[in-house]
Amino acid sequence: MVRNFAVCSVAAVSTLLISGCSSHPADVPASTAETTASVPETSSAPPAEAPPEPASELPPCGDIGTAAMPADCQLQSRDPAGVTFEIRHTGSPAHLVTTVTLLDSGGAFVQTLVEPEADAPGAVPKLRDLDGNGRDELVIPIFLATANVRYAVYHANGDSLEYHRAGELAGIGIDTSATGYVVVSARAEYASWDVEFWKFAADDLTPIVTAQVRPIDDGNGKVAGTTCAVIDSGGLATTGLTPTQADTQFCAEPAVVRVSRN
């Protein structure tokens, strides 16, 4: 608005004719001409809002390394619910108890989750949207073996702030597929992999199929390639695929192709 006043005043003065944004002082004596001064509008900008106080005083979880007793820390979900997860550890390295306190976006208590035997020294819980519904799942490492890690997965259904233990997954990592599956690649033995495909049914993880990748021996004790075969883990019927079609589809999944080349 101020810029428009500076270019061309729109104040209506009965004795002053405005044409093309120029006045004609010769037509109006200087002694009798009314002068209108446009006073720029001023407004005080509202003070910047202070960032909200963190719901937890614990430090953010990070790479804690191989400490026998992981440090207490907090995870902050980035989904619309904005839940804070306070992670605390008690017990001993051999019998680690992981307690998770959930706080809502305002810092109010929601619930407490307890994993009584989280024998995974140095492992840090993570948040990740595994089912692609826009809400983070809580993934807690509970057992660290030589090859694979076992995870407890907690899931919130719909808009609920409360989490439910959906099940356990074991492998070297958890991934998601473009086809909507939770994918876990687990080492079976040398050059052998079991790539499991799971889905959430309401609050529970349900197994669908497993792609078994096995090495081909060249006769001299060396790997000459791999084979892939898909077995029914209990959910093949839900895919609508025949066993042959399942082999074709799941053996072509990126997670399977990746381990087939290793």
Answer yes or no: is 255 within a domain.
yes
- Apex 102 CA angle, 87 and 57, nearest 5: 60
Question: Are 251 and 135 contained in the same domain?
Answer: yes
One-letter amino acid identity for 110?
V
Answer yes or no: is 121 within a domain.
no
Answer yes or no: is 185 within a domain.
yes
Half-sphere CA count of 30, side-chain side, radius 13 A: 0
DSSP 75-142: EE--STT--EEEEEEEEETTEEEEEEEEE-TTS-EEEEEEETT-B-TT---EEE-SSSSSSPEEEEEE
User: String of b and e for 125-142 (b: at least 16 CB within 10 Å)?
Assistant: bebeebbeeebbbbbbbb
Answer yes or no: is 71 within a domain.
no
Percent of the chain with pLDDT over 90: 56
Question: Are 130 and 249 contained in the same domain?
Answer: yes
Total domains, the chain: 2
Q: Which domain holds residue 31?
A: 1-41
Answer yes or no: is 165 within a domain.
yes
Residues whose CB is less than 8 angstroms from the CB of residue 26 and which lie 6 or more positions away in sequence, other chains included:
none
Please write the tens of the pLDDT for every residue from 26-60. Answer: 444 444 444 444 444 444 544 544 445 557 889 99
At residue 226, does pLDDT exceed 70?
yes
Cβ atoms of 128 and 139 within 8 Å: the answer is yes
List phi, psi (to 5°) of 104: -75, 180
Please write the tens of the pLDDT for every residue from 88-138. Answer: 988 887 788 999 999 999 999 999 999 998 877 667 899 999 999 899 999
5 CB-contact burial (10 Å; exposed 0-12 / middle 13-18 / buried 19+): middle
Please write the tens of the pLDDT for every residue from 79-96. Answer: 999 999 999 988 887 788
Spatial separation of the C-alpha atoms in residues 118 and 120, rounded to whole Å: 6
Q: How would you classify residue 211: left for phi > 0, otherwise alpha for psi between -120 and 50, otherwise beta?
A: beta
At residue 235, does pLDDT exceed 80?
yes
Please write the tens of the pLDDT for every residue from 183-194. Answer: 999 999 888 999
